[in-house]
């Protein structure tokens, strides 16, 4: 049972990470900075609960805010670069953050223990959940609730004018400007929102694993972050969830019995899926069909 | 309505638009014609702010707008269509208009929440009207990319109208249309003018422009070589030379 609850926790955090990239991708920006934002959220939230004794939710919100603020600052220079150049620039950002935490020591004495981040050793003993008597089930439910809230907010945004504006910018910046859209405001807002969601994912991740270190937040993680929404299709938040279930649930865990061959099949299956469904698992057409099916049932 | 004075755009040594002066009266259909590469599209891009001017000034209804960023110009009242259609293909027809209608909401300073999240009732009515005007009312939920070519052109026009502009710039709206569609376009442009919107029409299709323009300016090599009523322009020797070549 604990195995499946653990898997749910992983999938929850990865869904948030994927959604953080989903928002940014809608404006046509491919950002590999999401792993960096997640690292910031993870370290800030963990330091607040462990070192300052903050309650969890306040610490998670603070982590998300700091990550969002950082993303806002990254968003401005990111406006000037497009496509591959943006990819390279955001990879650099994720690496800067990772190397920062590789060198970052801030420990205080707590009884006989010293707690806090310690460079390459990482940040151990983030024991908020066990100390407060949360079981794996509680944690899984908590993460599930956060994911559901973020998904609901983004689903709502998708259907609002704001969602249409984000997509309009992603499709054609010149036409968007000519339709009265302020590109700077839209792209920076998307980056900020994405950063905050990634920061939230980081805070949750730090607390359920109890141990984080710089090597958790590499470019590979950033690649996963953009792979989920791209593989899932950018027309709906459910695509991202479907891709997380496919990759984390099926490819990573479901194929474990294959041993070392798993990794080979992993890559091959992603390529296969992208060939069969080039615009994502749940593309615009599938979503339209689903919507029609459901609306017919209502009448 | 629109006043260009000594408007110039130089790309390095190329004078794409050079010292062009125009004055478009409110309620006019003003035609802008010229051979390929004469600077028509550059002029449109200067008026909408996609390109910065080298020197000169642009005034809309007496207000200086030369240095306003593109997205603010729709708020001040300038909407446009593109020569090569630029729709948001993965948005529905409705959403395409919804995005542009925001500029009007901004102009009237409606509240943040109703603008971004709600289906503001006024916006809904305006978008429906623009769709009906363009004959797209039954396609509201279709993705823009799935429309036929003629419908896409109509959608672009509807999108430009959704923000209720004072001045509408049409960049070759008849390109690729059949005679029947051009006839419908002719009617539509007149209706737009009659509803009080000033139209700047850039067109290669001479029959259309001579039929509906109140006044026409002719560009060649970035300079204005003639201006007047359709009849005057047609009779102008410099225009004949630009289009047919000098009799040398």
How does pLDDT run across A38-53, given as a tens digit for each residue?
Answer: 999 999 999 999 999 9
**What's the pLDDT score for residue A278?**
75
**Identity of the residue in B70, B90, B116 whose CB atom sits nearest the CB atom of A167:** B90
Contact yes or no for A178 and B163 at CB 8 A: no
B100 contacts in chain A (CB < 8 Å): 179-180
> How many C-beta atoms surround the C-beta of residue B242 within 10 A?
20
Query: In whole angstroms, what separates CA B64 from the centre of its chain?
Result: 19
* Residue range A193-220: mean pLDDT, rounded: 95
Residue A123 lies in a domain: yes
**Per residue in A224-244, pLDDT tens?**
999 899 888 888 899 999 999
**What's the pLDDT score for residue B109?**
64
Contact yes or no for B71 and A284 at CB 8 A: no
Contact yes or no for A177 and B70 at CB 8 A: yes
H or E element, residue A71 = helix A56-78
Is A181 part of the contact surface with chain B (CB cutoff 8 Å)?
A: yes
- Check pLDDT > 80 for residue A30: yes
Residue A246 lies in a domain: no
Please give the share of chain B, as a percent, with pLDDT higher than 70: 93
**What's the pLDDT score for residue A268?**
79
Is A69 part of the contact surface with chain B (CB cutoff 8 Å)?
A: no
**What's the pLDDT score for residue B97?**
92
Delimit the domains of chain B by residue range. Answer: 1-77+165-248, 86-162
Contact yes or no for A180 and B106 at CB 8 A: yes
H or E element, residue B4 = strand B2-11
A183 contacts in chain B (CB < 8 Å): 71
Q: Is the dihedral of CA A174, A180, A184, A189 positive or negative?
A: negative
* Architecture per CATH, B1-77+165-248: 3-Layer(aba) Sandwich (3.40)
Q: Give the C-alpha separation, A149 to A159, whole Å.
A: 16
Rounded CA Rg of chain A: 19
Which residue, B35, B8, B7, B40, is CA-closest to B21?
Answer: B7
Q: Which of A145-149, B44-48, B233-237 ranks highest by mean pLDDT? A: A145-149
Residue B248 is given by DSSP the state -
**What's the pLDDT score for residue A287?**
77
**Identity of the residue in B79, B95, B115 whose CB atom sits nearest the CB atom of A164:** B95
Within 13 Å, how many C-alpha atoms sit on residue A176's CB side?
A: 23
Contact yes or no for A180 and B143 at CB 8 A: no
Contact yes or no for B74 and A179 at CB 8 A: yes
> How many C-beta atoms surround the C-beta of residue B25 within 10 A?
12
What are the distances in angstroms from CA A126 to CA A8, A41, A98, A136?
A: 20, 14, 19, 15
User: Tokens 């000033």 — which residue?
Assistant: B198
The whole domain housing A204 covers 2-219
Q: How far is B119 from chain A (nearest CA, A)?
A: 8
**What's the pLDDT score for residue B114?**
60
Is A161 part of the contact surface with chain B (CB cutoff 8 Å)?
A: yes
**Per residue in B125-174, pLDDT tens?**
888 888 998 889 898 888 999 999 989 999 999 999 988 899 999 999 98
Contact yes or no for B71 and A177 at CB 8 A: yes
Residue A57 lies in a domain: yes
- Check pLDDT > 50 for residue A5: yes
Residue of B nearest to A174 (CA): B50
Paired tokens of B241 = 């030379």
Residue B225 is given by DSSP the state E
Q: How far is A257 from chain B (nearest CA, A)?
A: 41
Q: Minimum mean pLDDT among A20-24, A262-266, B28-32: which range?
A: A262-266
- Is this prediction's ipTM beyond 0.90? no
Q: A42, A212 in Cβ contact below 8 A?
A: yes
- Check pLDDT > 90 for residue A27: yes
**What's the pLDDT score for residue B236?**
86
Give A283 or A169, the one with higher predicted confidence: A169
User: Which contacts (CB < 8 Å, 24+ apart) does range A223-227 have?
Assistant: A223/A32, A224/A14, A224/A17, A224/A18, A225/A17, A225/A18, A225/A20, A225/A21, A225/A32, A225/A34, A225/A35, A225/A38, A225/A198, A226/A21, A226/A25, A226/A30, A226/A31, A226/A32, A226/A34, A227/A18, A227/A270
Q: Is the dihedral of CA B84, B90, B93, B95 positive or negative?
A: negative
Q: Give the C-alpha separation, A16 to A18, whole Å.
A: 5
- Check pLDDT > 90 for residue A93: yes
- When pLDDT is cut at 50, 70 and 90, the band that residue B110 belongs to is low
Q: Give the C-alpha separation, B178 to B185, whole Å.
A: 10
Residue of A nearest to B47 (CA): A178
Q: B120, B128 in Cβ contact below 8 A?
A: no
State the Cα torsion A245-A246-A252-A253 to the nearest 10°. Answer: 60
Q: Minimum mean pLDDT among A184-188, B12-16, B125-129, B239-243: which range?
A: B239-243
**What's the pLDDT score for residue B13?**
84
Is A164 part of the contact surface with chain B (CB cutoff 8 Å)?
A: yes
User: Tokens 């323009």 — which residue?
Assistant: B213
User: Tokens 């672009």 — which residue?
Assistant: B156
What are the distances in angstroms from CA A66 to CA A70, A179, B144, B185?
A: 6, 33, 39, 53
Residue of A nearest to B76 (CA): A180
Residue of A nearest to B142 (CA): A288
Residue of B nearest to A185 (CA): B71
Q: B199, B193 in Cβ contact below 8 A?
A: yes
Which residue, B202, B208, B147, is CA-closest to B179?
Answer: B208
Give B247 or A63, the one with higher predicted confidence: A63
Residue A105 is given by DSSP the state B
Kindly report the length of chain A. 299
Contact yes or no for A175 and B88 at CB 8 A: yes
- When pLDDT is cut at 50, 70 and 90, the band that residue A92 belongs to is very high
Angle formed by the axes of helices A161-171 and A136-159, nearest 10°: 80
- When pLDDT is cut at 50, 70 and 90, the band that residue A149 belongs to is very high
Residue A86 lies in a domain: yes
A181 contacts in chain B (CB < 8 Å): 71, 99, 102
**What's the pLDDT score for residue A299?**
44
The number of domains in chain A is 1
- Check pLDDT > 80 for residue B244: no
> How many C-beta atoms surround the C-beta of residue B174 within 10 A?
21
Q: Give the C-alpha separation, B237 to B226, whole Å.
A: 9
Contact yes or no for B102 and A181 at CB 8 A: yes
Contact yes or no for A171 and B90 at CB 8 A: yes
Within 13 Å, how many C-alpha atoms sit on residue A237's CB side?
A: 21
């Amino acid at each position: 049972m604990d195995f499946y609850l653990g898997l749910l926790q992983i999938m929850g955090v990865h869904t948030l990470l994927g959604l953080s990239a989903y928002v940014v991708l809608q404006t046509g920006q491919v950002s590999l900075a999401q792993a960096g934002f997640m690292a910031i959220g993870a370290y800030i939230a963990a330091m607040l609960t462990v070192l300052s004794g903050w309650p969890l939710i306040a610490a998670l919100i603070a982590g998300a805010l700091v990550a969002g603020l950082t993303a806002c600052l990254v968003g401005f220079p990111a406006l000037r670069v497009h496509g591959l150049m943006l990819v390279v620039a955001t990879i650099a950002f994720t690496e800067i953050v990772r190397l920062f935490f590789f060198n970052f020591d801030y420990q205080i004495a707590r009884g006989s223990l010293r707690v806090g981040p310690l460079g390459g050793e990482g940040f151990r003993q983030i024991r908020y959940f066990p100390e407060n008597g949360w079981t794996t089930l509680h944690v899984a439910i908590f993460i599930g609730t956060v994911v559901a809230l973020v998904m609901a907010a983004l689903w709502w945004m998708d259907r609002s004018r704001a969602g249409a504006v984000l997509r309009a910018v992603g499709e054609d910046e010149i036409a968007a400007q000519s339709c009265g859209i302020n590109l700077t405001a839209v792209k920076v807002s998307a980056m900020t929102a994405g950063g905050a969601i990634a920061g939230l994912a980081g805070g949750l991740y730090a607390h359920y694993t109890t141990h984080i270190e710089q090597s958790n937040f590499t470019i590979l993680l950033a690649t996963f972050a953009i792979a989920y929404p791209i593989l899932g299709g950018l027309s709906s938040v459910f695509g991202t969830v479907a891709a997380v279930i496919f990759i984390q649930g099926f490819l990573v865990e479901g194929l474990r019995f294959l041993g070392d061959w798993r990794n080979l099949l992993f890559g091959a299956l992603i390529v296969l899926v992208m060939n069969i469904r080039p615009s994502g698992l749940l593309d615009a057409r599938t979503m339209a069909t689903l919507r029609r099916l459901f609306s017919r049932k209502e009448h | 309505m629109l006043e260009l004075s000594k408007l110039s755009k130089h790309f390095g040594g190329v004078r794409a638009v050079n010292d062009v002066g125009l004055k478009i009266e409110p309620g006019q259909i003003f035609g802008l014609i010229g051979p390929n590469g004469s600077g028509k599209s550059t002029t449109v891009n200067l008026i909408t702010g996609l390109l910065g001017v080298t020197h000169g000034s642009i005034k809309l209804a007496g207000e200086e707008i030369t240095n306003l960023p593109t997205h603010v110009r729709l708020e001040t009242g300038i909407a446009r269509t593109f020569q090569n259609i630029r729709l948001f293909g993965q948005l529905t027809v409705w959403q395409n208009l919804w995005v542009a209608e925001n500029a009007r909401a901004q102009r009237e300073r409606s509240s943040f929440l109703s603008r971004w999240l709600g289906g503001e009732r006024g916006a809904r009515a305006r978008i429906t009207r623009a769709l009906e005007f363009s004959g797209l009312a039954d396609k509201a939920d279709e993705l823009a990319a799935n429309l036929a070519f003629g419908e896409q052109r109509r959608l672009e026009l509807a999108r430009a109208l959704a923000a209720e502009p004072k001045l509408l710039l049409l960049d070759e709206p008849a390109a690729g249309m059949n005679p029947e569609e051009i006839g419908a376009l002719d009617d539509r442009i007149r209706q737009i003018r009659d509803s009080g919107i000033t139209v700047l029409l850039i067109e290669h299709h001479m029959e259309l422009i001579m039929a509906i323009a109140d006044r026409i300016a002719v560009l060649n090599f970035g300079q204005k070589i003639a201006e007047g009523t359709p009849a005057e322009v047609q009779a102008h020797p410099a225009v004949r030379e630009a289009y047919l070549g000098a009799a040398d």
